[in-house]
Structure 1
Amino acid sequence: MLSEKSTVTVRATLPAVGAAIGTITERFYERLFADRPALLRDLFNRGNQAAGLQKQALAGSIAAFATHLVDHPEERPDVMLNRIAHKHASLGVTADQYEIVHRHLFAAIAEVLGEAVTAVVAAAWDEVYWLMANALIDIEARLYAEQGVLAGDVWREWTVAGRTEETASCATFRLRPADGAPAPASKPGQYVSVQVELPDGARQIRQYSLTSAPGGELRSITVKRVQGDPDGEVSGHLHAHLREGDRLRVSAPYGDLVLDADGSPLLLASAGIGCTPMVAMLGQLAADGHRAPVTVVHADRSPAEHALRDDHAALTAQLPDSTAHFWYEDPEPGHPADRTGLVDLTRLPVAPGTRAYLCGPLPFMRAVRTQLLAKGVRAADVHYEVFGPDLWLAQD
């Protein structure tokens, strides 16, 4: 891992770099997009860039990786690296792009920190960068090989086989490969990237969880139309224009939040559109005849806004030892009072050895994780998925 000499330097300079990392990443993206405008147009989420979310995620991951290197020199933070690598693979990131990132990131560091970046300091942080970059390159190469594709060549044309309006703001699209070849293998909980051409010519990419259990010729994604300031570019485009018979450019499936049904009790907790990977997991458990305990927890604004609500409940009911607990901020008449408002696991029994899977807004997942830890669930047994930039580390 990090050399002894560089460890001393990174430990000494980490406070200064950490304090400036937000400014550094902001300057990095300014340089990168000035040099390669196509990356902002066709690869990076323009909404996340405008809101500063990608900058926060990058800053958090760099600081977390460097801190881990100096605090735990004998081990590599593979959980964090795998999460990033899966996202990169779904976007078709290639090894040569790490050279471009390196050039602009280190120019940004020099600009922001000035004379503090001596030759020794630059060499130490260069080592940090390439330890992280080469680890990601190796993991991404393995992920491409597992899907049987060349590095970065993850895209295929799919045909929309059907569309269902789930709620006023959510639609499910059923897809099949346009070339008639078998759909690529996937694992319950994984996502695909979808690339669409927008009116200004940009080819923007977003990730959507597969809601269908693996197997069969069809795959399904459920897309929530993002409304706000700004509205979601890709989700709005899909809702407005995608109909049965249309073509869609879709990546191979990736994602490290995958179901491990080894006989341990399971807890699947979601909020809002975070139910999508959980429905896929429930579909797989039902297909496999899973018999171990399963607890399903979901939070939403109202039953009418609970996408895939019928599937969520029906698949849970197919499992012999399972319970579903739905919390709504604005429930229907007769809904249990203790299931109104925010999720509260106080009265919910959680079996020893439970493995938990979480997906939803970050505050929801943090609250549920805290409650699960208080109930004795091991931190290592709580797994999560974040839609968009992973800000968990950035806010620790």
Structure 2
Amino acid sequence: MLSEQSVPVVRATLPAVGAALGEITELFYRKLFTARPELLRDLFNRGNQANGEQRKALAGSIAAFAGMLLDSPGSGPDAMIGRIAHRHAALGVTPDQYKIVHEHLFAAIAETLGDAVTPEVAAAWDEVYWLMADTLIAAESRLYRQAGVADGEVWHRMEIAERHRETPDVISLVLRRADGRPAGSFRPGQYVSVRSHLPDGARQIRQYSLSAAPGGDRWRISVKRVRGGTGPEGEVSSWLHAHARVGDVLTVSEPFGDLTLPEGDGPLLLASAGIGSTPMLAMLGHLVATGSRRPLTVVHADRSPAGHAHRDEQRRLVASHPDARLHLWYEEPGDPAAGAATGLADLGTLDLPDGLTACLCGPPPFLRALRGQLLRRGVPAHAIHYEIFGPDSWLGEG
């Protein structure tokens, strides 16, 4: 909660700070990487830096947090903090790194806003920053304790036991611990980080969902190659497609992620697009393996049947569930099977039960469209959960 003296200062300056956040975050990252180039090389996603998505995410999270402190002072932004904390834990972020961020962020604020940053303004926004940072540090510490590791010590070596080509752009890698120990449990829907040593010496990190149900001594991830076009080509996904082979050893994190299979036996919607099907496969596989009978609606949208990764597996799992229905949409026609339609996913055509809980995963346009459709159908916002592969701009939360 903001102090009494900071509330009016933050309220008065939030419009100006918010309007300048894009410029501030751009300058912040430039200062940070000039002073600490190893952070860009070995921690931050260079692709998201190149396309500006990380700057948008940072600006959005700061603005959203400040707004919540002003509008809901008695409650915390749990959903946003939880999602960021899981991402940070999967990267092995430690408390000392928040001091580094603070130094360069506030230098960027002072340089961008100039004389407008009076001592009073600086103190108020310093309070905003440390309230957010301390909340994240505490949340990340809890996640590390739950994983049974020290802060930031999330990495271990895993050997590729199997490699499978799922589509022209998707491979799956089955992983086992290199030390022979069991891979460990995880909650269906969670992801792991993979740290890859690239040819230029960088150790870039990317997150991949665990795409099969927990159980046994192995994990499976599915990697979609990000091809160039409107943005930079995915350097880690391209490297894994080209070089990851059976017997190779990867550096992999403990599992994290807050989009997990909701508890209970009420009706459930699992809706995905593209490679967003991967966490849903783990949830679906777990429901089948545990004999769940909860009513289940499975929705998937893709460009074409040929590009639908794990398509046969998804059909098989749905067929194995006693009360599940599969609905498919492809932008390009070509699947004559029942349940496949042409075009974009449209929940308005489906009979959704009362008391539904929804889990969504896919690109932002898909998430915005389906979330809007569900809200119009009367599904409350708190019953709609989502995962986005990439930085989150925090638009439309709540």
TM-score where L is the length of structure 2: 0.97
Assess if the C-alpha contact under 8 Å between 2:61 and 2:394 holds in 1.
no
- Letter aligned with residue 276 of structure 1: T
Q: Give the structure 1 partner of residue 24 of structure 2.
A: 24
Q: Quote the residue 1:223 is aligned against.
A: 223
Q: Is the 8 A contact 1:266 1:295 kept in 2?
A: yes
Check if 1:286 corresponds to 2:292: no
Q: Which amino acid aligns with 2:277?
A: C
Task: Look up the SS of the partner of 1:4 in the other structure.
Answer: coil
8 Å CA contact 2:41–2:203 kept in 1: the answer is yes
Note if 1:82 corresponds to 2:66: no
Which stretch of the first structure deviates more once superposed, 228-237 or 354-363?
228-237
Post-superposition offset of 1:392: 3.8
| 1:289-300 correspondence runs (5 A) | 289-300=291-302
Match of 1:50 in 2: 50
Q: One-letter code of the match for 1:348?
A: L
Q: 8 Å contact 1:147–1:184 — kept in the other structure? A: no
Could you tell me which runs of 5 or more consecutive residues in structure 2 were left unpaired when the two chains were aligned: none
**Shift of the alpha carbon at 1:335?**
5.4
Q: Deviations over 1:321-364 (max 9, x none)?
A: 11000100112163579821111111201111100000000010
Q: After TM superposition, give the deviation of residue 394 of structure 1 in Å.
A: 8.9
Aligned to 1:173: 173
- Alignment partners' CA distance in 1, 2:212 and 2:47: 28
Give TM-score scaled by structure 1 length. Answer: 0.98
Q: For residue 236 of structure 1, what is the amino acid of its counterpart? A: S
The corresponding residue for 2:154 is: 154
Letter in 1 for 2:129: Y
Secondary structure at the aligned position of 1:166 is classed as strand
Which residue does 2:196 correspond to in 1? Answer: 196
Checking the alignment, whether the CA contact within 8 Å between 1:352 and 1:376 is kept in structure 2 is: no
Mark the runs of 5 or more structure 1 residues left unpaired by the alignment. Answer: none
Separation in 1, partners of 2:34, 2:53 = 19
Separation in 2, partners of 1:82, 1:343: 28
The answer for the alignment partner of 1:14 in structure 2 is: 14
State the percentage of identical aligned residues.
Answer: 62
Equivalent residue in structure 2 for 1:367, among 369, 377, 387: 369
Letter in 1 for 2:162: G
Partner residue of 1:232?
A: 234
Distance 1:316 1:249, change over 3 A: same
Aligned 8 A contact 1:60 1:394 in 2: no
Cα 1:191–1:23, aligned 2, differ >3 Å: closer, same or farther?
same
- 1:377 alignment partner in structure 2: 379
Q: Which amino acid aligns with 2:274?
A: G
Instruction: Check 1:337–1:78 CA distance in 2 against 1; reply closer, same or farther (3 A cut).
Output: closer
User: Following TM superposition, by how much is the alpha carbon of 1:395 offset from its aligned partner in structure 2, in angstroms?
Assistant: 10
Deviation (angstroms), 1:69: 0.4
Amino acid of the residue matched to residue 362 of structure 2? G
Shift of 1:219: 0.2
Aligned residues: 396
What secondary structure does 2:188 align onto?
coil
Measured in 2, the distance between the counterparts of 1:304 and 1:334 equals 13
- Alpha-carbon offset, residue 213 of structure 1: 0.8
Deviations 1:189-234 (A, max 9, x none): 0000000111100000000000111121010000001101421100
Letter in 2 for 1:29: Y
- The residue identity in structure 2 corresponding to 1:99 is K
SS of 2:163's partner is strand
TM-superposition CA deviations, 1:172-194 (whole Å, max 9, x none): 00000000112232100000000
Alignment of 1:58-137 (within 5 A): 58-137=58-137
Cα distance in 2 for residues equivalent to 1:312 and 1:333: 15
**1:282, distance to aligned residue in structure 2 (A):** 0.2
Deviations 1:134-180 (A, max 9, x none): 00000100101111111111100000000010000100000000001
**Who is 1:351 aligned against?**
353
Q: Which residue identity is paired with 2:239?
A: H
Asked if 1:313 corresponds to 2:303, the answer is no
CA–CA separation in structure 1 for the residues paired with 2:304 and 2:271: 16
CA distance in structure 1 between the partners assigned to 2:2 and 2:211 by the alignment: 41
| Structure 1 CA distance for aligned equivalents of residues 176 and 210 of structure 2 | 13
Kept in 2, the 8 Å contact 1:92–1:154? The answer is: yes
Note if 1:163 corresponds to 2:144: no
With over 3 angstroms needed to count, the CA separation of the structure-2 counterparts of 1:180 and 1:333, relative to structure 1, is closer
Opposite residue 67 of structure 2, the aligned amino acid is T
Question: How far apart in 1 are the matches of 2:341 and 2:16?
Answer: 46
Deviation, structure 1 residue 391: 2.3
Amino acid at match of 1:196: S
1:329–1:340 CA contact under 8 A, matched in 2: yes
Conserved 8 A contact 2:86-2:143: yes
SS of 2:5 mapped into structure 1: helix
2:21 maps to amino acid: I
Letter in 1 for 2:24: I
Q: The residue matched to 2:347 in structure 1 has which SS?
A: coil
Counterpart CA distance in 2 for 1:332 and 1:364 is 21
Report the secondary structure of 2:179's partner residue.
Answer: coil
2:259 matches 1:263 = no
- Separation in 2, partners of 1:99, 1:338: 52
Tell me if structure 2 keeps the 8 A contact 1:184–1:253.
Answer: no
